A and B are shown apart, each in its own frame.
Chain A
């Protein structure tokens, strides 16, 4: 038996979030998400949480487990090595219900950096080819599944509501560094200013949180460098 302390909040009834304790009959290879299924099926059907793929691909089930932002589906109970497991929603985001947070703010920031490939040259007959080295530059950033674990862990994003955030900045770098994209330094203009890349204090909370082991700080520092160089040759926007 593993004790689960799960944070509950129903905005229609409760004034503040509170913790509820459940005893889960844990299997040997059980993940936190499976434990949550167990709670819903056997103990309390009113528990709300978000999930979809169950395989660490969709990024829906990011939540705070034992003090760290993780994906519930890829966190095994035996890896946590703890008799009591505390589960709460992602911090610093508005709670919709129980473990579900409002990701609106996160995705609005994501839209700001134009998260799509822009190439207005005429399409070649076959694909736009990349060399292995060109692809290797953006390999790490492509793994991002937009779960919001880094954004929620970022102290700067928590204190500055206009900060674009680590996930969006990682994507900004991913497209800026992509050899097929030709928006060029216009992308830097999108992340310029006091709420852009330069706001990052290199706290590495994002890197600590990322379930895909991406280091968003690396991308953000590249963008900072680009912004500085851009200012020296031609002003961005």
Chain B
């Protein structure tokens, strides 16, 4: 019965905040899993003794990785706070105010992210 079904993107109807929140939640979720694996690999180099671990950390604290860290923080903040938003809906609260709740939860995320930016890269604020 789906013979005449047109091939189209399943996220074609993505005008709403809810849809974007869902898509971003999935993307950040997958990247956090990838980060976790990477994290285990990095930490496990300490099994080879302090020297290889310190050498690797020297590389990972270089400027390009600071930018990557900031991206990681953004992913964590979004995934965590949007996760809280989904839990709120599962308890039956605020379903009709979903857009407002999205922006309200994005506010602390942006504040924390900019504060971190200030402490990690203070010279861009001068």
Contacts and interface: CB of A to CB of B under 8 A. Distances in A.
Contact of B1 (A69, A102, A159): A102
B66 interface: no
Interface string A1-43: 0000000010100001100000000000000000000000000
B16 A221 contact: no
B19 interface: yes
A221 B95 contact: yes
Contacts of B4: 9, 11, 94-96, 102
A161 interface: yes
A215 B96 contact: yes
A218 B22 contact: no
A216 to B, nearest CB: 10
Interface string A135-160: 00000000000000000010100110
A91 B6 contact: yes
Contacts, number: 85
A128 B102 CA distance: 42
Contacts of B2: 94, 161
Contacts of B12: 91
B15 A208 contact: yes
A155 B1 contact: no
Contacts of B1: 94, 102, 104-105
Interface in A95-132: 95-96, 102, 104-105
A140 to B, nearest CB: 10
B92 A68 contact: no
Interface string B74-114: 00000000000010011110011010000000000000000
Contacts of A221: 89-90, 92, 95
A204 B6 contact: no
Contacts of B15: 67-68, 208
A16 to B, nearest CB: 8
Contacts of A95: 4-6
A102 to B, nearest CB: 7
A221 B22 CA distance: 16
Contacts of A205: 13-14, 16, 18-19
A78 interface: no
Indicate the member of B1, B3, B6, B22 with the most A CB atoms within 10 Å.
B6
Interface of B: 1-6, 8, 10-19, 22, 86, 89-92, 95-96, 98
Interface of A: 9, 11, 16-17, 67-69, 91-96, 102, 104-105, 153, 155, 158-159, 161, 201-205, 207-209, 215, 217-218, 221-222, 224-225
Given A68-B15, A204-B18, A209-B13, 15 more contacts: A68-B13, A69-B13, A93-B5, A94-B5, A105-B1, A153-B13, A201-B22, A202-B89, A202-B98, A204-B16, A205-B18, A215-B95, A221-B92, A222-B92, A225-B91
